[in-house]
Chains A and B, each alone.
Chain A
Amino acid sequence: MLQYLIRRLLWAGVLFLAVTIVTYVIFFLVPANPARLAAGQSATPERVREVEKFLGLDQPVYVQYGNFLKRLVLEGSLGQSFLTRQSVNEEILRAAPITASLVFGAMIMVLMLAIPLGILSALRPRSLLDRTAMTYVLIGISLPSFWIGLMLSYLIGYKLQLTPIAGYCEVISVQEAAICGGLTDWAYHMLLPWFTLAIVTAGTYVRFVRAEVMETMHQDYVRTARAKGAPERTVMRSHILRNAMLPVVTMIGMDIGLLLGGAIFIEAVFGLPGLGGTALEAIQRFDLPTLQGVVIFGALAIITLTLIVDLLYAWIDPRIRLS
């Protein structure tokens, strides 16, 4: 087990390097001068050069990358934004919990929605319910998330006034400037974003759960359970689901990791100040350190979550745990 962990961590390190190098390369391939953007339209040439020096952009790319790595490893710092000169660490720490709350809340909704639907579809294949569910799945994975978000925001938020149109509220340490705050406000504002993200994501899960349950249903040990005289309830819970849900765990872990990198569209539509918005702005304004920060955080999230999920899977599946 220890050997496995060490191997995974080393591999994670390699991934980090690869991801950060690629980000640097792509950033500098684009023919634009971040210093000029940061200095403003009326900056004198001397001023632009000053800004270049200040931001370290006068060095060759590999030197900049070396400095970035050094700063990251020795100081644990991701540097400062080209644009706002704020610590990127702070910005990530500010934005990440918001994205995390969006992603985790949506995942819970997904599970509440997709698992029962997937199971019911598997139990009644080709019934009206099953066909409706599969149609919904197709729609859900085809429609763009921002369109769904805008539609819901308009219909439910604006027309029916059942939820706020957009915005984010802090849960704790609510500032005076904020127009809302506290647990209820926060949850109320998150309802539509959760729901939108859930609709978009649930589609794949319904299909997946359906396939897994259908396959498990026909396993021999399910027949054995029935032959023992177990009621359907027990057969479903203890035998079918207990096995069918194992791969779902892996999928959830991976999805959470991917989404933590920034559910950009949803955040943009609902004005949630999470990593998605941070990344988008960093790209548009050529803010390399912030962009790099988000990329690293995303990579870290995916790597960590896949590792956790793999370990979790190994733990809950005795065939892997005890081999």
Chain B
Amino acid sequence: MVINESVGGKIFNTINTFFLILLSAICLYPIIHVLFASFSEPLELMKHRGLLMKPLGFTVNGYILVFKNPNIINGYINTLFYVIVGTALNLLLTSMGAYALSRRNILWKNAMMFCITFTMFFGGGLIPTYLLVKSVGLINTRWALIIPGLIGTYNLIIMRTSFAAIPDSLEESAKIDGANDFTVLFKIIMPVSKAVLAVILLFYAVGHWNAWFNAMIYLRDRKLFPLQLILREILISNDLQSMSRTGGQAAEAMTQANADTVYLSRVLVQYCTIIVATVPILLLYPFVQKYFVKGVMIGSLKG
């Protein structure tokens, strides 16, 4: 596409570019702050206020502390399992549901949508859900982190909206050629919906990556713990603030206990755990990003 830019267009481009650079600088700052802080000397870090533009001193002790925890490697492996298997199942079921609920002329469609959306607002709460998961036999198994969250309603709704926007002609011509709905979904709809699939994949993957609460509730065996739960433990062991919420006596004990971590500040560990937890997921995004290319629909309407 050749576009001749008008003067107005050129001015707009310049302003837009400046604005976006400014925005990215502001958005880049927190992660730079965290990154530099994670390599800083704890004593220097404790004294510091304001903007952080470079590491204060240099030490990898924070990272050593995080990684010498024997549970970390295990945590990474577990999380990898949860992300891969979980996201695959999520995508499969969500796209099936989104497809089904986006077709025209389904008698019970609205009823089902209502029932599904209803669950976003009303639920049983922690204890009944725990009892249910227990009765199904999932407690202390890996599946406890996958099955109870099998479909995210928000994601389902987004995908359904996107599938509904695809022209009917695609489905009709496929059906005329003898395809059933499964074929239509997997061979026609999904290839054309790469962008939204990529996004929902990202959402689910990040969700699994960040998950710790369900693991905390449903898992006893440390061998099954995901990364975030391990990191949380490290963080809290080194964090005075959350201690004070567990009760006066415990807070005293922890205060006494933490007095000595002079050489390894809790704040330092906090920053290191953020980097350790975040970097891998950041690596996922570029793979997902290339699906946000325009023109996915080219060629699909022809014929």
The yes or no verdict on A and B being binding partners is: no
Interface residues of A (CB under 8 A from B): none
